[in-house]
Amino acid sequence: MAIHIKNNVNWVGQRDWEIRDFHGTEYKTDKGTSYNSYLIQEEKTVLIDTVDSKFSLEFVQNLEQMIDLNDIDYIVVNHAEEDHSGAMTALMAKIPNTPIYCTKNAIDSIVGHHHHPEWNFHTIKTGDSLDIGNGKQLIFIEAPMLHWPDSMMTYLTGDAILFSNDAFGQHYCDERLFNDEVDQTELMEQCLRYYSNILTPFSSLVTAKINEVLSFNVPVDMIATSHGIVWRDNPIQIIEKYLEWANDYQEDRITLFYDSMSNNTRMMADAIAQGIHEVDSQVAVKVFNVSRHDKNEILANVFRSKAIMVGSSTMNNVMMPKIAGMLEEMTGLRFKNKSASAFGSFGWNGGAVDRIHSRMVDAGFQMTEGLKAKWKPDGDAIAKCRAHGRMVARQWALRDLSEDVVRPVIEKKPSVIQAVPVAKNSDDKPVDTGSCQICTVCQWVYDPAVGEINQGVEPGTPWEEVPDYFLCPDCGLGKDVFAVVQKDAAA
């Protein structure tokens, strides 16, 4: 199958709807991907990149349906990673002497993967060109470490197409090939996910390379990436996005992620998030449990955030392993211009928070003091978590918060449940405040006539008016695990 791109250029790649893991299992491709290969048929016939090795057979068969493979004059390998050069062994078995144009580093990688040092390699450098007839040329641009040492881009004069390989691409699969045809929200989400999880460490190189390409002052009508869509509608938009993302990007957003052995650190995270929102109603606050959420989505949120908070229970006096893995990955991604703070619950030793703090200093975050809670947070501890949230919200604010309408803060309540009055009518009969609610996890019962004074819920408060941040006093879970129960059954 081929898709016409422009004039004598066709897409001859492969879609991969079912792939869910990339780079081992480190990148979740929840929208699939594509491996974009391009065939240029001017006086000379040129193939730009191939596809992943698992599609070698289909790729070569497809090409043979279109052309005699012996008509291919040149193969350009923009990047040697297996998702783009994987089909080279199958292809070169058919046309073994075809010239291959690539960087010096790519020869090392291609030979390392395919074990054919005898292939007809031609080394290129930035500015080298290849005449392909009909007045058109290919001009090569090395792009080392974007994102491998061998990476390069190829520019087709006349048609003004930049074959950018991984850069400006995204793991996204759609039968529609062009950027103006697909869902724009999905597309930009996948672009940001790709940049934040793969290209962040190389942001300074991204800026320098884009400025170098722009300095050539050549038109760019299309950017033909090697994953996902082809940018034909305003292709400059993705270049502008890359420049923005590469410039220590941040939004007014705070991301919390944690792992929690017994829900105690989770309770802290919820309360801190509530505290942040109490003083800053506009900042986006996102909370993730690393055991339950997609790691790449969490990292994309870290990328978008001005600050993050990392929580862990203390286990064997260290942090939980999934948190340690996240810190290692964030160290490698080399985020810049972000604040951070650690938190977590502990029993007899509280080593996790201190270790998170020092690891995040090493990873380049500007640290704010952390917060520890011993055992399961009681009402006082939850109030302290909220206060901590309010403190960091003020410290990290990007705007003047004095104009904000501050949400009412529930002040300190007794930490031991007191005998509480039941709401009554003037005739001294209990008010009918609706059904009781039972926690389906631990069976604790909320009686509207009694309320839950430790969380500021007054007697007589119907369930519908209990705040969303309410937590079961016994197991610490939220309102969503409660179900209606008859008062008689609850008694």
Q: Measured between alpha carbons, how far is 83 from 87 in angstroms, rounded to an integer? A: 8
The residues with which 315 forms a beta bridge, in sequence order, are 318
Contact indicator for 74, 123 with CB cutoff of 8 Å: no
Cα–Cα nearest to 137, from 216, 23, 227, 247:
216
- 166 is an interface residue for ligand FEO by CB under 6 A: yes
- 83 is an interface residue for ligand FEO by CB under 6 A: yes
Q: Which stretch binds ligand FEO (CB under 6 A): 77-85, 113-121, 315-323, 327-335?
A: 77-85
Contact indicator for 107, 81 with CB cutoff of 8 Å: no
Active-site positions read: 23, 79, 81, 83, 147, 166, 194, 227
Supply the minimum distance, in Å, between the C-beta of residue 169 and ligand FEO: 7
Contacts 24+ apart (CB under 8 A), 416-419: 417/453, 417/454, 417/473, 418/453
Supply the minimum distance, in Å, between the C-beta of residue 384 and ligand FEO: 46
- 193 is an interface residue for ligand FEO by CB under 6 A: no
Q: Is the dihedral angle over the CA atoms 151, 156, 162, 166 positive or is it negative?
A: negative
Cα–Cα nearest to 409, from 437, 430, 390:
390
Question: Helix, strand, coil proportions of the chain in percent (round to 5)?
Answer: 35, 25, 45
Interface mask (CB under 6 A) for ligand FEO, residues 25-64, using x and -? ----------------------------------------
Residue among 78 and 263 whose Cβ is closer to ligand FEO: 78
Residue among 147 and 304 whose Cβ is closer to ligand FEO: 147
- 15 is an interface residue for ligand FEO by CB under 6 A: no
- 280 is an interface residue for ligand FEO by CB under 6 A: no
Q: Which stretch binds ligand FEO (CB under 6 A): 75-83, 202-210, 300-308, 379-387?
A: 75-83
- 81 is an interface residue for ligand FEO by CB under 6 A: yes
Supply the minimum distance, in Å, between the C-beta of residue 77 and ligand FEO: 12
What are the CA-CA distances from residue 321 to residues 21, 260, 302 (Å)? 21, 11, 19
Q: How far apart are the first and last CA of the chain?
A: 69
Number of residues that bind ligand FEO (CB under 6 A): 9
Supply the minimum distance, in Å, between the C-beta of residue 166 and ligand FEO: 4
Interface mask (CB under 6 A) for ligand FEO, residues 110-149, using x and -? -------------------------------------xx-
Contact indicator for 152, 122 with CB cutoff of 8 Å: no
Q: Measured between alpha carbons, how far is 465 from 302 in angstroms, rounded to an integer? A: 34
Which member of 193, 227, 277, 304 binds ligand FEO (CB under 6 A)?
227
Q: Which stretch binds ligand FEO (CB under 6 A): 76-84, 136-144, 214-222, 457-465?
A: 76-84
Chain positions contacting ligand FEO, by CB under 6 A:
79, 81, 83-84, 147-148, 166, 226-227
